[in-house]
Amino acid sequence: MINFSVLIPVYDGERSEHFSRALASIVEQTLVPTEVVLVKDGPLRGELEKVITCYISRYSFFKIVALQRHMGLGEALRRGLEACSFDIVVRMDSDDISFSNRFEVQVPYLYANKNIAVLGANIEEFNRVPGDTGRIKKVPTSPDKIRAYSKFRCPVNHPTAAFRKSAIIGVGSYKEMLLFEDYYLWMRLLRKGYVIENLPVSLLYFRMTKETMKRRQGFGYFRKEMVFFNTLKNEKLISSFQYLTLISTRLPVRLLPNRLCLFVYNQLLR
């Protein structure tokens, strides 16, 4: 018997059809979770509540954590993690789709390798339907390569993460860091010597639309990056050289026109 939790937050801005498909990909796994902790990050409109009602009426392993107001991803995940009953926790986002064998691949691997705190994987990006872009976001697999990679880019695809609750709590859990809650968490884990690995396979379809790309452009997004980079530097999680490299490489990309930014994204970052 392998016991594990799935942690998935949802907020009012999510589309109900995307949310329903994400939940379907959880309950249709070849290895069904022991519990699903669903965090309602503030009040939800009727369509989203109907989706939740539908699933909790059919599956008894859903646990609802309802926040009275929208708190943001960091706080929602922190509250949800506290509610997880088991040490092995698998993350999911409310608009992505897990491969049907994802849990069967990741959870036993964590059980068999007690030294690993976080286990991620590659993601296959899609726009409307899985497979329509052909883009795969690969991440390094070995702990040493992950540590080096983390100084310049996020080393784990957050929606693919499976981890040990005890390790996450051990470094202070999720903290508020707008748009970079996961990256900040991985850096703190690496500083404490925890082992992070990624499997060299894709295990999740990640929804990447034009709107998603636009949200990652502009000076406003770069300002949020600067808050995060400054935190990393001040906490000595990166060196001054790495800090300057991050700034000098991110700003030009954020200010590129949409089409040129998409070209860079497809040709250089994927």
Secondary structure in 3-state letters for 173-222: CCCCCCCCHHHHHHHHHHHCCCEEEEEEEEEEEEECCHHHHHHCCCHHHH
Report how far residue 119's alpha carbon sits from residue 155's, in angstroms, rounded to the nearest whole number: 11
Asked whether residue 153 falls in the same domain as residue 224, the answer is: no
Predicted local confidence at residue 219, as pLDDT = 85
Confidence check: pLDDT of 265 > 80: no
Tell me, yes or no, whether 260 and 148 share the same domain. no
Average pLDDT over residues 251-262: 76
Query: Do 128 and 39 reside in the same domain of the chain?
Result: yes
What is the rounded average pLDDT of the residues 84-94? 98
- Burial call 142-174: b when 16+ CB within 10 Å, e when fewer: ebeebbebbbeebbbbbbbbbbbbebbeebebb
What pLDDT sits at residue 84? 98
Last residue of a domain, one of 169, 193, 208: 208
pLDDT value for 255:
82
Q: 270: pLDDT confidence band, cut at 50, 70 and 90?
A: low
Residue 40 forms beta bridges with which residues? 10, 66
Confidence band of 262 (pLDDT split at 50, 70, 90) = low
One domain for residues 196 and 226: no
Q: What is the pLDDT at residue 268?
A: 60
- Residue 193 shares a structural domain with residue 217: no
- The pLDDT tens digits for 185-218 are 999 999 999 999 999 999 999 998 767 767 777 8
Looking at the fold, whether 130 and 186 belong to one and the same domain comes out as yes
Residue 264: pLDDT over 80: no
Distance CA 135, CA 113 (A): 30
Q: What is the mean pLDDT of residues 87-114?
A: 98
pLDDT at 256 > cutoff 80: no
At 228, the pLDDT band (50, 70, 90 cuts) reads: very high
The helix-helix angle for 181-191 and 73-83 (nearest 10°) equals: 60
* 23 plus 103 within the same structural domain: yes
Pairing mode, strands 162-164 and 116-126: antiparallel
Q: What is the mean pLDDT of residues 61-89?
A: 98
Domain boundary, last residue among 191, 208, 225 = 208
pLDDT at 21 over 90: yes
pTM for the model:
0.94
* pLDDT at residue 7 is higher than 80: yes
Q: What is the DSSP letter of 172?
A: T
Query: Is residue 97 classed as helix, strand or coil in its secondary structure?
Result: strand
Parent domain of 158: 5-208
Using CA of residue 40, residue 34, residue 204, residue 129, what is the dihedral sign? negative
Q: Are residues 259 and 183 in the same domain?
A: no
Question: Mean of the per-residue pLDDT values for the chain?
Answer: 94
- DSSP-derived 3-state class of residue 10: strand
Q: Do 203 and 256 fall within a single domain?
A: no
User: Is residue 41's pLDDT more than 80?
Assistant: yes
Same domain, 188 and 238: no
| Same domain (yes/no): 219, 204 | no
Mean pLDDT over 226-251 rounds to 96
pLDDT value of position 241: 96
Alpha carbon distance 19, 26 (integer Å): 11
101-119 burial, b for 16+ CB within 10 Å, e for fewer?
A: ebbbbbbeebeeeeebbbb
- Residues of the chain with pLDDT > 90, as a percent, come to 84
CB 44 within 8 A of CB 128: no
Q: Which of 189, 208, 227 is the last residue of a domain?
A: 208
